[in-house]
Structure 1
């Protein structure tokens, strides 16, 4: 007699988006509430929806289009809480997850390849170097999506067969900032074609990146965005939060966390996503290893008479020391995906009263949070933010407060 159950419920989503059953099995494409039948098929549950994009299942960008909205929010929160729980860290207050809406992506990296005289342009297939040639995209802003077909036509006349070009598009207030990599632009006909394209598409700037670095071909407009009310002209290829909606959520949480602070250090500051909003009510030290980004921030802050001091510094190799940090009331830290172990150690040693951590990697965030917790910080508030809609990529803001911390000197 076979005592195996006829079905088992899918109870959660794993970090990479697979469903996990009550008995611990990982099931690709499953959604909490589905049931895995004995023959290996899935019986859909109430949390499953019809994916709205024709590229779902191939394109690597949107693994969770088949998941209902409330479960997407639950997933974003669990992605952050689970690694913390394994380290014994429990936030005192977890705010509802903020999810950016469809069609809000203002920054995207795509790839173009030419095969047999035809250019394919889009995102990579999940787990592969193969390409999904975009016929539609529900995450890109309409401005970026409208550029795909004209760009495909442009590259058809410039790329060699079997050639590949990297594409970075950023929608700015002055038009789209377009950066093409691995495209030779030394010959006059190529430069003329690029300049004509930029003019026709009303781009803010068109640049190419090759072995010698990035070179601006033409800049008909000004590739600027407003950060904290201050216009900042972006360097080519500069980092910008993927959606303006997500940026607003992250900044609002950070400002709430440091409310009342008069002296704030913004570490890994980039072009000033947090530094400029912070400078509306505090004196800010902004530090980063990217010279072009820091120069853009410094120039914008000076033009707006904002109290921002910039410091060009590799915070991995030369973190700001505990002695230097003791004069600050609060620190905002927004490291890349690798986290900031060395800098967090200095923050913990300084016992800065308030630490606002922004992260795009729950695993490295948990590691850094453990160091702060061990130094006597409590995780007061956590804000989950899912600005990469339908993906497994999650961001967050976390407010840490030092127990019995004295006033910064």
Structure 2
């Protein structure tokens, strides 16, 4: 509290990005150290920075550009600590690793044709309005450089509706999947070819509701994971930044030590599988991702044993888990409730839990800790700079 009884000081930033005072008052776009007057007016403090992007705060791509580096790092830590506290847990939380500006290698933009012009960008916060971006401080410059050419391309393709544009940086260049629209006719095909040749596009695919149809892919598209080129299905899941992927992988490798056998659950394309120097059982429910991982591992004769397995309907049993020296699990945002019970009862020496949702992580961690496990440490990773989205890797031991 300040000495003035009519003002309150913002002490922390809540999970959804609002600043909070000690007595529970909320104020949007405030930073720790800002003061909130009784009439709702805000005086900025030492941790409030000038947002660098002209689209903030309208654009929903970022919610926290007004925080300086120190307070943003504290927000990432607090998101995890608060989720744990809600489950009656605590753990050593390391200094967050924050990805730098303009390093995002994948993003989904939204396009709309209206009034003879194409709007292309992120949606506004909690709205369907598309912000027509003229600059972006989070996208890799190689992806942002395609925004204006994509507007022109969509006009030439006679685009007249709303669609999503999924951008990914692959080894060969930009991989583009447009969903909700598919062009027709020879002029559209010629315009697409010119666009791809001019901008060095790796692949373009369209999905109008029947699955992705590739229209341009001169060379097979790959993404290198753990030093291994892996075939990249359209719009596959990847860690948001190479920097964040490296930080999470480093944490996983530190946590598992030098095991002979490892289970990688929700393995995806093999982000951790291919980096682990051991025999790895890889379970994944997405068939395209698992097929890509299997092909990459087989080509280089890596000791990887993939299985197509829905871990929600058929989680590994305790007997299966007990065969491994370490288990790595990286579930979707909903967590791994179905798998957590068997993990809690297993005798594997170490569990590494990678999460993109502190709330579902804390829920699953509670089940593990109640069964005698302990959180050795947590490494926060802020790949989605200036957003409320937080990731982490945690080591569990008996």
Task: Please give the TM-score of this superposition, normalised by the length of structure 2.
Answer: 0.97
Output one character per residue of 1:309-334: Cα deviation in whole Å (capped at 9) or x when no partner: 00001111111111111100111000
In 2, the alpha carbon distance for the partners of 1:14 and 1:132 equals: 25
Runs of 4+ in 1 over 3 A off after TM superposition: none
Would the alpha carbon gap of residues 218 and 15 (structure 1) be closer, same or farther in structure 2, given more than 3 Å must change? same
In 2, the alpha carbon distance for the partners of 1:291 and 1:211 equals: 19
In 2, the alpha carbon distance for the partners of 1:16 and 1:245 equals: 24
In 2, the alpha carbon distance for the partners of 1:306 and 1:344 equals: 28
| Equivalent position SS for 1:213 | coil
Given that residues 175 and 221 in structure 1 are in contact (C-alpha distance below 8 angstroms), is that contact kept between their aligned partners in structure 2? no
Correspondence 1:362 to 2:341: no
| Residue aligning to 2:387 | 391
| Residue aligning to 2:275 | 277
Correspondence 1:194 to 2:192: yes
Tell me how far 1:191 sits from its aligned partner.
2.7
| Residue aligning to 1:220 | 218
1:320-399 correspondence to structure 2 within 5 Å: 320-399=316-395
Tell me how far 1:95 sits from its aligned partner.
1.2
| Residue aligning to 2:31 | 31
Aligned counterpart in structure 2 of residue 258 of structure 1, from 256, 259, 267 = 256
In 2, the alpha carbon distance for the partners of 1:33 and 1:366 equals: 28
Given that residues 99 and 389 in structure 1 are in contact (C-alpha distance below 8 angstroms), is that contact kept between their aligned partners in structure 2? yes
| Equivalent position SS for 1:287 | strand
Given that residues 156 and 188 in structure 2 are in contact (C-alpha distance below 8 angstroms), is that contact kept between their aligned partners in structure 1? no
Tell me how far 1:186 sits from its aligned partner.
4.1
Tell me how far 1:220 sits from its aligned partner.
2.1
In 2, the alpha carbon distance for the partners of 1:157 and 1:115 equals: 15
In 1, the alpha carbon distance for the partners of 2:158 and 2:357 equals: 36
| Residue aligning to 1:52 | 52
Given that residues 265 and 285 in structure 1 are in contact (C-alpha distance below 8 angstroms), is that contact kept between their aligned partners in structure 2? yes
In 2, the alpha carbon distance for the partners of 1:201 and 1:118 equals: 22
| Equivalent position SS for 1:88 | coil
Output one character per residue of 1:311-370: Cα deviation in whole Å (capped at 9) or x when no partner: 001111111111111100111000000101011111112232100000000000000101
In 2, the alpha carbon distance for the partners of 1:174 and 1:73 equals: 33
In 1, the alpha carbon distance for the partners of 2:194 and 2:26 equals: 51
| Aligned CA-pair RMSD | 1.3
In 1, the alpha carbon distance for the partners of 2:193 and 2:314 equals: 42
| Equivalent position SS for 1:237 | coil
Task: Please give the TM-score of this superposition, normalised by the length of structure 1.
Answer: 0.95
1:202-241 correspondence to structure 2 within 5 Å: 202-241=200-239
| Residue aligning to 1:89 | 89
Number of equivalences: 396
| Residue aligning to 2:76 | 76
Given that residues 199 and 220 in structure 1 are in contact (C-alpha distance below 8 angstroms), is that contact kept between their aligned partners in structure 2? no
Tell me how far 1:184 sits from its aligned partner.
2.1
